Amino acid sequence: MSPLCPMPPSWVAELTALMGLFSVQGAASRPQAPCPGRCCCCGGCGAGPVLTVLVWEWPSRQVPDFSRDVCCEQYGIAGCRLSTDRRLLSQADVVVFLHTTLPRGRDELPRDRPQGQGWVWASLESPTNTRALAGWNQTFNWVMTYRRDSDIFMPYGKLVPNRSATVSIPTKTNLVSWVISNYHRTQKRAEVYKNLSRYLHVNIYGKAAKKPLCKDCLLPTTSKSKFYLAFENSIHQDYITEKLWRNSLLAGTVPVVLGPPRSNYEQFIPADSFIHVDDFGSLADLASFLKTMNSSRYRQFFAWQKRYSVKLYADWTERICTICATYPRLPQGHLYPDLQSWFNT
């Protein structure tokens, strides 16, 4: 196989199986997949319809090269053409608007859209950290967020089956660590940390602690701790971020979570893979539990590694590509009449 068309990662097959094969009614009117002078890693060039997804404004200065079939090559999703070229507006099947790049008002977006074109509102932030949405009523057909009830579900991470996995626990040199970039005393996590630190020592890193960690230093640092404070900056249903997926589970440490209720976490990860602050009547009890845990009990928290591995969603290109896999199941002819009310529920 040509190096220009690498084999997709193992989780791609699982993702494809979950999402189903890509098919769209009325596909005959859409352009067929181009066949460049190289292999096509998605089952043959020109084999099916192409969905054009226009990202109105990319979230970073460095825009990927979309001249290549990135969704196919990198993520195994066929028939998906991404672009940031607004000249393709009239041709786009889907237009994606990231909340962080939205203009101040609806008047700054196109007034008319081609019949059948769907607009997507995409956001990774919680309602607490999202500015007023009232001005965007009757604007978007679909929402793409971390919430499981979104039209396009976009989690920060997930566990994927991995039958060959074995338990691997990094060497530990300290009890608890926490990486914090923005510390606000009014946040619940600040209050919990302050009170918890009365009973045990917490190794703090990050910009807020004036101990920033480089990108390649984060996981090696947190992996040395037995426990990691996966405290969310705000508490909302399904708002479970990289603090759990990357900083703790992927690093090989046990997450002590502060966020939505335990029952919500258990919809994402096994019940015996984490510790919830609410499991204890007091923070003194929590601290005692952490400090006195023996090695046998500690190892039980890693049983999930025998069946799963962590899959992170940290790349906006991958997130946008999933729209094509989800497209056949999206409701047609729908507009969110009150986006703010939906997001705040």
What are the φ/ψ torsions at residue 230 (nearest 5 degrees)?
-90, 70
User: Which DSSP string corresponds to 64-106?
Assistant: --TTS-HHHHHH---SEEEE--GGGGGG-SEEEEEGGG--SSG
Of the residues 125, 191, 232, 266, only one is catalytic, namely: 125
Strands 142-145 vs 118-122: parallel, antiparallel or unpaired: parallel
Q: Residue 331: which of 71, 76, 98, 149 has the closest Cα? A: 149
Helix (H, G, I), strand (E, B) or coil at 209: helix
The sheet that has 152-153: what strands, in order across it? 80-83, 51-55, 94-98, 118-122, 142-145, 152-153
What are the b/e assignments for 95-130, b being 16+ CB within 10 Å? Answer: bbbbbeebeeeeeeeeeeeeeebbbbbbbbbbeeeb
Query: Length of the chain, please?
Result: 345
Active-site residue flag, 125 = yes
Which DSSP state fits 255? E
What are the b/e assignments for 317-343, b being 16+ CB within 10 Å? Answer: bbbbbbbbbbbeeeeeeeebeebbebb
Q: Token pair for residue 82?
A: 């991404």
Q: What angle do helix axes 283-292 and 188-196 make, rounded to 10 degrees?
A: 60
Would you please indicate which residues are annotated as catalytic (active-site) residues? 125
